[in-house]
């Protein structure tokens, strides 16, 4: 590929290894068709898709970066529907620290999924845990359950179905963000806060929190994301520049499970991010 600065960067996407609809290989092929040159697969709580994606990326000349997305505890932020997602990049997926991280979150996810499906059965929705595992594997998420509810005719809108599932109050155990940072860094990786808008903090509070989080191991923020308006994205980039943090861009692509989000649709290039876009080394 020539003129690499004209090619896209997408450092946040999901495959069938978690709650996306494309296999890791299919996702990488789509990235190639969509002119994405720098790609990271960031499946929820797992590194299972990385090897397949990395192999295909190498064939197609795509710079592939090891990635993962996990969910940190938000109880310290007070009440409200907050999400605290952390992206990890450039780590060794076979390190002891990464095994500890993924085992914790996968165990938490399996427990939540079993409780959620049992609750749905109690309410008369004929979806079993065994059926979902057969379709998607043990690492499925709420978007997969929402899709099944829509297929069965109970809902027509994805967000409505997910809101219904959230209303059931079945939650999973989450790890303190400082522990997440520590484990990612011990694995040789770089911790980055995903879509910081979902923390739902006012600008001054967000700045203070990010400043403290940097002292606790944070190395970057995702500033370009489909949830971020242009003014908000500029604020995030400014925070990163002032605090000397990396800033990244990611579509949060899930395929059919988020049909309005296209891989690489942000049209970010390497000039738009401040992040090491080298290929992650093999373990």
Q: Which residues contact 255 (CB under 8 A, 6 or more apart)?
A: 14, 20, 21, 22, 27
Q: What is the C-alpha to C-alpha distance for residues 247 and 245, in angstroms, rounded to an integer?
A: 6
Q: Which domains does the chain have, with CATH numbers?
A: 4-101+174-272 (3.20.20.140), 105-167 (1.10.150)
How many residues comprise the chain?
Answer: 283
Of the candidates 44, 33, 35, 39, the residue with the CA atom closest to the CA atom of residue 57: 39
Among 58-67, 89-98, 148-157, 274-283, the minimum mean pLDDT is found in: 274-283
User: What are the tens digits of pLDDT across the range 11-42?
Assistant: 999 999 999 999 999 999 999 999 999 999 99
Give the per-residue pLDDT at 79. Answer: 75
Q: Give the lowest-confidence range in 2-11, 49-58, 254-263.
A: 2-11
5 pLDDT exceeds 60?
no
Query: Does residue 4 surpass a pLDDT of 50?
Result: no
Mean pLDDT of 118-140: 91
Q: Span 62-86, mean pLDDT?
A: 92
Say if residue 269's pLDDT is above 80.
yes
For residue 6, the model assigns a pLDDT of 57
Neighbours of 217 (CB within 10 A): 16
pLDDT digits (tens, 9 = 90+) for 164-219: 998 998 988 999 999 999 999 999 999 999 999 999 999 999 999 999 999 999 99
Cα first-last separation, the chain: 27
The whole-number pLDDT of residue 63 equals: 96
Confidence check: pLDDT of 1 > 70: no
């Amino acid at each position: 590929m020539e003129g690499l600065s004209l090619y896209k960067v997408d450092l946040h996407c999901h495959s069938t290894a978690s709650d996306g609809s494309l296999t890791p290989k299919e996702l990488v092929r789509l990235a190639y068709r969509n002119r994405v040159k720098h790609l990271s697969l960031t499946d929820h709580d797992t590194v299972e898709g990385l090897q397949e994606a990395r192999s295909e990326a190498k064939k197609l000349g795509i710079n592939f970066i090891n990635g993962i997305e996990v969910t940190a505890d938000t109880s310290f932020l007070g009440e409200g529907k907050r999400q605290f997602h952390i992206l990890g990049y450039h780590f060794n997926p076979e390190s002891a620290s990464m095994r500890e991280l993924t085992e914790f979150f996968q165990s938490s996810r399996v427990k939540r999924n079993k409780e959620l499906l049992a609750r749905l059965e109690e309410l008369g929705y004929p979806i079993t845990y065994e059926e979902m595992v057969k379709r998607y594997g043990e690492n499925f998420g709420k978007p997969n359950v929402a899709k099944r509810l829509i297929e069965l005719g109970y809902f027509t809108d994805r967000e409505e179905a997910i809101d219904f599932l959230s209303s059931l109050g079945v939650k999973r155990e989450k790890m303190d963000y400082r522990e997440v940072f520590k484990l990612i860094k011990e694995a040789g990786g770089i911790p980055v806060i995903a879509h910081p808008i979902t923390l739902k903090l006012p600008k001054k509070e967000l700045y203070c929190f990010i400043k403290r989080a940097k002292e606790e191991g944070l190395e970057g923020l995702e500033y370009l994301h489909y949830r971020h308006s242009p003014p908000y994205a500029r604020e995030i980039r400014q925070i990163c520049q002032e605090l000397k943090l990396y800033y990244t861009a990611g579509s949060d692509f899930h395929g059919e499970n988020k049909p309005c989000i296209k891989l690489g649709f942000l049209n970010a290039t390497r000039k738009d991010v401040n992040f090491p876009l080298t290929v992650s080394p093999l373990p």
